[in-house]
Structure 1
Amino acid sequence: MSNKRDNNKKVDWVDATLSEFDGVRYLHLDSIWVQGAMRVKKPERLELEYIQRMMVWMLWRDSRELNQGQAVQLGLGAGALSRFCRKQLKMKTTAVEINPTVISACRHWFHLPDDDERFQVVNADAGAWVADADHWGTAQVLNVDLYDHDAAAPVLDDEQFYRHCRAVLADGGLMTVNLFGRSASFARSAARIALAFGSDQVWHLTPTREGNTVVVAGRGVSVPEREVLEQRAATIESRYELPAQKWLKLVRPLPMNIINQIRD
């Protein structure tokens, strides 16, 4: 979760709240909307389907290089992606979260580790963080999941923001973004991403049952041959217990109506 901060005003943050059902702990922001989840007995597992799909970038990278470089999450949620990248992939990991109550909840209730040389949680505005040139070219992976307590649309979603996201990526880096694919805003958001990254550098997965669509954008990447993708998917499934072979069936290029919108 993230929203823009006005440093000249006192901010009353929406409190992070919890619920628990059938062994799964959920994070909320004073609403019924789920901002993240963790299976209590398996905290390193990615519980929500769309969160699993945020790892689809792994298909674009050589399996031998998955743990190389830095992973950055914009929006901490329940810390699932941050825990996974740090613990399972053993990547240097940075999470940027503007709401201090979310960070506190993750520390106390969602097994978020303390900061160390490989892991850091930054209490900051995600838009300002990616706009800082000191961070440009530093990440191989960027996960973007920025929704407020209403969960209606991404809080940061303009072309300049996505251009800054691209700048944060090193050459060959990949970004995944959570969008609501069944709403009218999906086409607008996907077009903005394509304008920032180039339409040949953007793909998406078909929506989940809940309507979440994960968009993938690369900085100078190419889609490997099908045989290579299938080998990588099999490795991801056996090593990390993620449904990567299913992802292969769901990946699509940008729809022509979005590409035409960009050209116009």
Structure 2
Amino acid sequence: MPPFNWPFPRFRAFRSRAAVDRPVVVESGQFVSLYFDGREMQSSMLRAAPYALALGYTRTMMGFLLLQPAPRHICMIGLGGGSLAKYCYRHLPDANITVIEVNPEVIALRDRFCIPPDDERLSVVCADAALYLSATAQTFDVVLLDGFKEGGVPAELSDAAFYEACHSRLNSDGVMAANLPGEDPRHRENLARIRETFGSSVALAPVEDGAGNGIVFAWKNAAPLPPLEALMKRADQHAGQHSVDLVEAAVRIVIGARYDWTRQGPLNSA
């Protein structure tokens, strides 16, 4: 199968994790959104459906279920408005969820975004994710990376040691899904380091809403990516439990598996 590259429009990063950024909540008739200093949207919640995934990149990230259908413990890097945390909390009742967020002011807004309080299944930890993963002995079935600062992924969440820590903290059948902005100056390095860490067990999927970022799916075992037909059957098995179109995610993951990793170019390259 020939290499596949696709054009992406230019965009601004969705999530910021820098402690110096001050979160701002902007409310409209239908949405409650999180910004930093009123400039860049970090998260958006539908008033009428606070547990729904309003942004396409979050829906694409849920494609991890096609590779790990029954996670028992999920680690999320970056809380923001809590979209992924809330969705997984409601739709994956057998999963424990640990969220690592560096900014205490973001955590303080959890009630505004209808994020449930901590309980036996959900824990929001105020910590630097790189330090947390390097120190904890806990292992996870899924690691979701959605941590940003202005300009892209912070250096501490994009070096080789961090990706090695993510790999080490995954169980043998674990999956990592990382939201990577195409305009991040570290984009090539991030792709190369994930590839170096996970080998050929990776797929770079375009996001559902056509924004300029892509989702890297990486799995710990060396098994090849199942064919599209098998992924679509898995999507159908989840259909009654989820509001996300996992068939759409399956197609994007298979497309992403055709990315030309030897070029390691930006997502919007020709």
- Normalised by the shorter chain, which TM-score bucket? 0.7 to 0.9
SS in 2 for 1:141: strand
SS in 2 for 1:210: coil
The answer to whether structure 1 residue 54 and structure 2 residue 71 are counterparts is no
| Cα drift, residue 184 of structure 1 | 5.5
Greater share of helix? 1
Distance of 1:53 and 1:215 partners within structure 2: 10
AA aligned to 2:24 is T
SS in 1 for 2:137: helix
Distance of 1:182 and 1:205 partners within structure 2: 16
User: What does 1:94-105 correspond to in 2, within 5 Å?
Assistant: 94-105=98-109
User: What does 1:52-91 correspond to in 2, within 5 Å?
Assistant: 52-62=59-69, 66=70, 68-90=71-93, 91=95
Match of 1:257 in 2: 262
Match of 1:29 in 2: 36
The answer to whether structure 1 residue 2 and structure 2 residue 24 are counterparts is no
Match of 2:180 in 1: 179
Distance of 1:215 and 1:173 partners within structure 2: 14
Highest relative contact order (Cα 8 Å, sep 6+), 1 or 2? 2
Q: CA separation of 1:140/1:221 partners in 2, compared to 1, >3 Å: closer, same or farther?
A: farther
Query: Which TM-score applies when normalising by structure 1?
Result: 0.85
| Cα drift, residue 42 of structure 1 | 0.8
Query: Which TM-score applies when normalising by structure 2?
Result: 0.83
Residue from 20, 24, 29 that aligns with 1:17: 24
Match of 1:7 in 2: none
SS in 1 for 2:241: helix
Paired residue total: 242
AA aligned to 2:217 is V
Q: CA separation of 1:128/1:258 partners in 2, compared to 1, >3 Å: closer, same or farther?
A: farther
Does the 8 Å contact 1:2/1:125 carry over to 2?
no
Task: Summarize deviations over 1:88-126 as a string: whole Å, max 9, x none.
Answer: 1111001000100000012x2011111111110000000
Unaligned runs of 5+ in 1: 4-11
Q: CA separation of 1:55/1:134 partners in 2, compared to 1, >3 Å: closer, same or farther?
A: same
Query: Quick one: percent identity of the two aligned structures?
Result: 27
Match of 1:131 in 2: 134
Task: Summarize deviations over 1:181-223 as a string: whole Å, max 9, x none.
Answer: 355643321111111111x111111254220111111111532
